[in-house]
Amino acid sequence: MSERMSWVPEGVDTGKPSAARLYDYLLGGGHNFAADRMLAEKFLQAQPNARTIARLNRAFLRRAVLFMMDNGIRQFLDLGSGIPTVGNVHEIAQKADPEAHVVYVDFEEVAVAHSELILEQDPRATIIQEDMTKPDAVLKAAGESGLLDFTQPVGLLTVGVFHFVPPQADPQSIVAAYRDAVPAGSYLAFSQFTQDLQPEEMAGVVEVMKKSQNPMFPRTKTEIEGLFHGFELVEPGIVPSPLWHPEGTNTDDPDKAGIYAAVGRKA
């Protein structure tokens, strides 16, 4: 392509599909491009239930935030927050208490720029562009934001993001670093894809995502238990996402939820 497009911003590659926009598409959002939608279609071929899985994961996020609010948490660190779509953490939290503070973290440019636009008017919420697998940098920036008070319990959210963290990145020590930075009484909400449910479909998804910018790493229940070291799991423990504190009677098939969800409290 010889001719330069004079108005195209440099440094942003929207031609590569991103997990953030893929997820937005699965949730029915419009913040995505042809490349994202193409990847999404492949994803859907491997896991036809993907839209429901996304919806259930997003719904778990909401219930987890409200659960933490009920237990006195008023500040959240949302790691891998994604494109602001429906039911963002600050909206959920601030609806329950307008004083609630939220720091979002994501490493994807467009998600971050978009979050900035959304949060422009909100002094109690901000977004940090950082890799959440680097807790030191994240915690430093979060501290500098002035929005989080690390002497008070914090709600840590790692929802739908750890399946992007490869085993080599030592997920256990990543969680541990965040855990050590917050006081007792803090909570961790966690969800990620697992091969325990629908192993064949999961294998297909891993294959589809392998060559993308965001390869995926499902984990077994036992592996996830290991990540909660230093936390006490809140009932009912690690369960398919729709079974975690369902609202009313759950009608979604837990065996097709794709994702395990859990919340732990730092002792």
Partner 1 sequence: MELPELAARWMNALTATAYIPLSHAEIEQVLLDSLVELPESPESVANRLVSLHATGPDSLRATIEVLSPTFELPLLARLSSAYAQAMRMDAFDQQEQIKVAIVRAKQRVERTLKVSQARFREVFESAALGIVITDLGGRCVEANDTLAEIVGLESGADLNDRDLTDFYHPDDLAALGAQYRKVREGHLPRFRDQRKLIRADGEPVWVYLAVSLLRDADGEPTHHVTMVEDISELHLLQRSLDHQLLHDSLTGLSNRQHFVTQVERRAANDPITLYHLGLDAFSVVNNGLGHETGDKLLKIVAARLGKLAGEKKAVLARIGGDEFAMMTVSDNVTTTIEEIQEVLGEPTFVDDHGIALSASIGVVDRPPVFATTAELMRCANAALRQAKARGKRQWALHDPHDDARRRGRYALAASMPGAWEHGELEIVYAPVHDLETREVLGAVARLHWDDLSHNDTMALADSTGLSLPIGRWLLREACAQAARWVQEFGDRAPTLHIALGALQSRDEDLVADVKRALDETGLPPERLRISLDISSVLAGDDNAVVLHDSGIVTALDGFHGGHDELAVLTEVQVRSVITRAPAPSPDSPLYQAMRDLIATVHSFGVRFGVDEVHTLEDAEYWRSAGADAVIGLLPALSADEVTELLTAASQPPEAS
Choice between 57 and 195, CB closer to ligand SAM: 57
With CB under 6 A as the contact rule, which of the stretches 44-52, 74-82, 226-234, 250-258 interacts with ligand SAM? 74-82
Residue 82 interacting with ligand SAM (CB under 6 A): yes
Q: How far apart are CA 107 and CA 129, in angstroms?
A: 5
- We find the least distance from the C-beta atom of residue 46 to partner 1, in angstroms, to be 18
Residue 267 interacting with partner 1 (CB under 8 A): no
Instruction: Of 139, 137, 169, 141, give the one whose Cα is nearest residue 154.
Output: 139
The Cβ of residue 33 has, within 10 Å, a number of other Cβ atoms equal to 15
3-state secondary structure 89-142: HHHHHHHHCCCCEEEEEECCHHHHHHHHHHHCCCCCEEEEECCCCCHHHHHHHH
Residue 86 interacting with partner 1 (CB under 8 A): yes
Site string for ligand SAM, 2-41 (x = CB under 6 A): -----------------xx--x------------------
With CB under 8 A as the contact rule, which of the stretches 5-13, 157-165, 195-203, 228-236 interacts with partner 1? 5-13
The one-character DSSP state at 10 is T
Residue 30 interacting with partner 1 (CB under 8 A): yes
Instruction: Tokens for 32, please give them.
Output: 């995505």
Footprint of ligand SAM on 107-146 (CB under 6 A)? 107-108, 111, 131-133
What's the one-letter identity of residue 44?
L
The one-character DSSP state at 152 is S
10 Å CB burial of residue 18 (0-12, 13-18, 19+) is buried
With CB under 8 A as the contact rule, which of the stretches 84-92, 161-169, 177-185, 232-240 interacts with partner 1? 84-92
The CA-CA-CA angle for residues 171, 176, 178, to 5°, reads 100
| Residue from 19, 79, 92, 238 binding partner 1 (CB under 8 A) | 92
Which residues form the interface with ligand SAM (CB under 6 A)?
19-20, 23, 57-58, 61, 80-82, 105-108, 111, 131-133, 159-161, 164
Which residues form the interface with partner 1 (CB under 8 A)?
1, 4-16, 27-35, 51-52, 54-55, 58-59, 62, 86-87, 91-92, 109-110, 112-114, 116-117, 247-248, 251-252
